Structure 1
Amino acid sequence: MSDVDAKDCSPILWPSPDPETAAWLARLAQVVVPEAHVIGFGDGAREHDDPVVYCECDGSWWCGRYVGAIRFEGRMLRIRPRFGMAVLEQWIEHALNLTFTEVSGELDDHDAFLPQLLARLWSRALVTAGRHGLPALRQDTMHHGPMLRGRLDVQRTVRERVAGRPGLSSVQRSRSLENAVVQAIVAGYAALRRWVGNAQLGKVIAERAQDLVDHMLSAMPLTAGPPLQGEIDRVRYTPITAGYHTAVRLSMRIARHRGLFHETTPDGGATGVLLDVAEIWELFVIACLRAAHPEFDVLHGTHDVEANDWLLTSESGNKTLGWLKPDALLRLPDGVLIVDAKYKSLRPRGARPHGVEREDLYQVGAYLSRFANDGGEALLVYPADGDASPPEVVAEGPWRFGSGQRLGFVALPTDAETAVDLLRRRACGGG
């Protein structure tokens, strides 16, 4: 049976796959839990509850918002970015303020396209973290003997003397690379070597990243495996090593998914790694907003908005319903601008004759009722589909709710420079 190639938010083998493949996709849809396979890049908690694949009422099969590769029952489903790998890289670069290392030629068009992308992101995160040196952390080493090393441990010395062991107990504090930070980074590197191959990885990651890893390998074996999450949580970063927090978080996510492209689970489940493109699109839109409006306060809803923003509160004040987290809030002089990024197509289809899902309208209406009662507007921002003419909802906007509040739809260009220019020129569908 052949592997299946598809693109995110697009039909699979249009108009429909053969019966055998359709049955395989149905089994895969039941088994795959996106949360178990997604490697995220945002700092906040995000639900990955949309299906990887789903069947429309007309029998056609579609991919959801993820890209990556899933292996199940001996077949591979590869989901590539519908706007192309170069666009996805640009979104990640702009959203996370990272620049990928230069690699001659294009990324290989095979199973390793996602690991190579992750390797380049990991490389840049490590280089950024290592600007001020290696992550040597302070550690306390206990000694007991005739000589004092470091600070005297009075209580332990007394216990040793009572037990009949003469000498002094002391604590020596020193810096060491034998710590959870180094172990996590080495484990991520080991997983990338398995995915990409040692020779190819040397072409993908920066020379500085390889130099940092080589120093870490002198203190931590390549086979050590990732540390426990509790060990990571107990790390106390210094101002010099604080930059390693991002590199450690990414390394842990990579290490936990090692080998998934070539191994099967004992119970016959699915294996693989996915990126949530909707998350990347959200981060890209927020970065463009901040670049377009540096004079205003742009709050990222998942991180910067208070956690007690609810749609409903009981009269007793003890219960809440409907947690509200818009993607972005702009504090403008004349009110609030609410921005929600939607990684969807505005093309009319089936139950969406105008290209807009009704649930998205309800959602933004709730945001306006909570955050913009004293004046404000909202934008729903979608990626523009090529050179096609603006969708009807964009051309006919802005729109108004019954309360009088305005809602605009934006088909945002996929390149950062043009996107920033468009967001700078308009507030809410006003041209």
Structure 2
Amino acid sequence: MPTITASQTPDSTLKDRAAARDADDPLAARRDLFSIPEGVIYLDGNSLGVLPRAVPARLSEVVASEWGTSLIRAWNTHGWIDLPQKVGDRIARLIGAAPGTVTACDNTSINVFKVLAAALALRPERKVILSDTGNFPTDLYMAQGLRDLLGRGHELKVVAPEDVADALDESVAVMMLTEVDYKTGRLHDMAGLTARAHAVGALTVWDLAHSAGAIPVDLSGAKADFAVGCGYKYLNGGPGAPAFLYVAPEHQGAVTPPLTGWMGHEAPFAFDLDFRPDAGVGRMRVGTPPILSLSALDAALDAFDGVDMAVVRAKSQSLSELFRTEIERRCPDLELASPRDPAARGSQVSFRFDEGYALMQALIARGVIGDFRAPDIVRFGFTPLYLSHGDVLAACDILEDIVTTRSWDRPEFHKRAKVT
């Protein structure tokens, strides 16, 4: 899907071209699979995805029929026990992973702890965990906590994103990065950095929280060692949806899970007193799977059935470039914080504005929902399955009006809420 170049285009022509692009959009029918509130332009799917229409009915079925009628028998009769692997395999298709290498479980933070600990155990002679300043803070927090818990002299080395490649040397045990920077959308070269890490004997952990369901990911092709990601952003699994983790096939037999729960046992219902790990990625599971939330995520993934992620990427770039060029043209007080090249960023565009929090609250009050990241970033995510070019232009009109009239500068918009 070619990008609409907007910088010198009259508004009427721009809208006509956007309408033509939407009319020719191979993903347009996917919008009907989502429940989007009337009057809302949702540009925050990079933080919490829209409710898929299939989810309420699926949850009702699981609660009323499966749980309500089958009771504990549902673990067998309705396949509850297999949901972590079933959902994992569905996510695997979206991130370039082979069946049996991804499992849905826990949350992203816990999964970071598990795969990082497992990776460090595979490189016991090395002590450096390499990350960057664009990594999501919880990943760094988990690394700090694990470092302190192990008490074996590990070091968390954090460098600027552009310095990661040069910081890789024979002291690094694990390179731990988020592929798409949560603030700016900056996109790391997964294949290139993984190859560089492997060349010096290091392992890799990739966080796909802002990648899975938004851009093409090829874990197998990149030869990534481990990966994690969440289910509630572009995968639309709902608030607190289960996360997922990936272990490359060559590591599955050797990896030692740091949390040895009964669902990671080779035979959970043998009730052995000693832990024997599952033969595959299942050894990384811990406790009883959350069936209601897993079922919601499973239903949400139906929206991706038959979808080519290359088509998603092309539309994402077209949407985000239309937004970027229009906002830079109309709102010079906003400073672009994302890479200008759409190929160098994920499915979001961020701007800096001194009063970013108030600006975002004013936008939300007008039905354009994005979010704010301290100290001055306003973020806008583009989810191709339910956004159109017409939506983007309407959002640009509203943002321009708010900035031009300074209508963001009202007391109620400056009052900080707990969640930004």
TM beyond 0.5: no
Normalising by structure 1, we get a TM-score of 0.25
Structure having greater relative contact order (Cα 8 Å, sep ≥ 6): 2
Higher strand share: 1
Q: Greater CA radius of gyration, 1 or 2?
A: 1
Name the one with the larger helix percent: 2
